[in-house]
């Protein structure tokens, strides 16, 4: 799935890279976002009650822009340390991986400042591991809704800060009384990062 998304994005970039000269509607200049995230899980869920998150990392690639709309995909990773072995199991870490398609809308407040609300939808996976052994994983779907404020340093580089609401739903096989504890997760996270834009003329 990840390889297919990357291949499609690359083909779009190569096939339509010259379109910008012919029309102002679509822009295929690449935009890369790299960020660190501060996650805060909440609710009566496995990640919120039996784990403590470390700093997360994320990546966002926007490969096409139509007017102010941006289409892309992203990846998020968060390392969780298990704090309640009784409810987590015989492992010491939970690792969150997510791949999402995203759609954003950039609002230019000035030459330097932009605000971009966005949403994303894709896959989520939790991997469970101890120091010397893997304990399997859970898969599911994830949804995010967020916004970020960017400050342009020059034509290529910007810094940004943002906040997201993220919800994930997992496929689980456990006793009925524990399903609602393990089958979903919700969190807010604050993102701080750098945006890199390339303009090919």
Q: Domains along the chain?
A: 2-197 (2.40.160.20)
- Average pLDDT of 113-140? 92
Neighbouring residues of 81: CB distance < 8 A, sequence distance ≥ 6: 51, 52, 53, 54, 92, 93
CA angle 183, 129, 35 (to 5 degrees): 75
Q: In angstroms, what CA-CA distances link 23 with 28, 97, 162? A: 11, 38, 32
Q: Is the pTM of this model over 0.75?
A: yes
Neighbours of 125 (CB within 10 A): 16
pLDDT confidence bin for 21, thresholds 50/70/90: very low
pLDDT surpassing 80 at residue 111: yes
β partners of residue 146:
118, 164
């Amino acid at each position: 799935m990840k390889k297919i998304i990357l291949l499609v994005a690359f083909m779009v970039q190569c096939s339509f890279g010259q379109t910008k000269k012919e029309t102002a509607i679509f822009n295929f200049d690449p935009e890369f976002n790299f960020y660190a995230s501060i996650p805060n899980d909440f609710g009566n869920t496995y990640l919120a009650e039996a784990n403590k998150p470390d700093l997360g990392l994320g990546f966002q690639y926007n490969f096409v822009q139509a007017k102010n709309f941006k289409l892309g995909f992203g990846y998020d990773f968060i390392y969780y340390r298990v704090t309640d072995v009784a409810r987590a199991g015989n492992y010491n870490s939970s690792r969150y991986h997510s791949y999402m398609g995203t759609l954003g809308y950039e609002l230019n407040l000035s030459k330097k400042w932009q605000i971009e609300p966005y949403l994303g939808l894709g896959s989520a996976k939790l991997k469970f591991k101890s120091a010397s052994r893997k304990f399997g994983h859970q898969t599911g779907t994830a949804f995010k809704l967020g916004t970020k404020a960017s400050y342009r340093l020059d034509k290529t580089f910007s810094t940004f800060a943002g906040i997201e609401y993220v919800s994930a739903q997992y496929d689980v096989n456990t006793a009925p009384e524990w399903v609602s504890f393990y089958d979903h997760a919700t969190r807010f996270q604050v993102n701080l990062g750098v945006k890199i834009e390339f303009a090919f003329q």
